[in-house]
Amino acid sequence: MSEVRKGLWYTTDHEWIRLEGTKAYVGITDYAQAQLGEVVYVELPEIDDEFEKDDEISSIESVKAASAIINPLTGTVKEVNEDLEDTPEHINSDPFEYFIYAIELSDESECDDLLDADAYSAYLETL
């Protein structure tokens, strides 16, 4: 069973979101990293690039597949996790510890569409 941590928000595209004020840190869930297998590359977005909700913001590649990272909230990229450029496999060891990027939110009301831990766990049971 995949780990789902309380206190985070989730999407049905298997991203987790940690909100800190108007900044959202985004990574992939334990379920997503398990489905991908051994992560070998993470494409990071560019600082100050603007993305809409549901835009493809980056991608992640494993020995099995490549997968798009779908941006869960509209905003501007303010941080990227450069550690993942050299050691993308950190996502496999602890996907909740290694965010991919952080975005400054443009529309906080979009957070209402995110799933809490219980709702995401229930969603995983349908897969």
Single pTM value for the model: 0.96
Distance CA 93, CA 64 (A): 17
Give the residue extent of every domain in the chain: 9-110
Predicted pLDDT at 127: 96
Distance CA 123, CA 8 (A): 15
Predicted pLDDT at 53: 97
Which of the four CATH numbers 2.20.25.190, 2.40.110.20, 2.40.50.100, 2.60.120.10 does domain 9-110 have?
Answer: 2.40.50.100
Predicted pLDDT at 43: 97
Predicted pLDDT at 1: 82
Per-block mean pLDDT, blocks of 10 residues, the chain (127 long): 96 97 98 97 98 97 95 98 97 97 97 97 97
Predicted pLDDT at 92: 97
Predicted pLDDT at 118: 98
CA distances from 64 to 8, 44, 61, 88 (A): 27, 20, 8, 14
Phi, psi for 51 (deg, rounded to 5): -135, 145
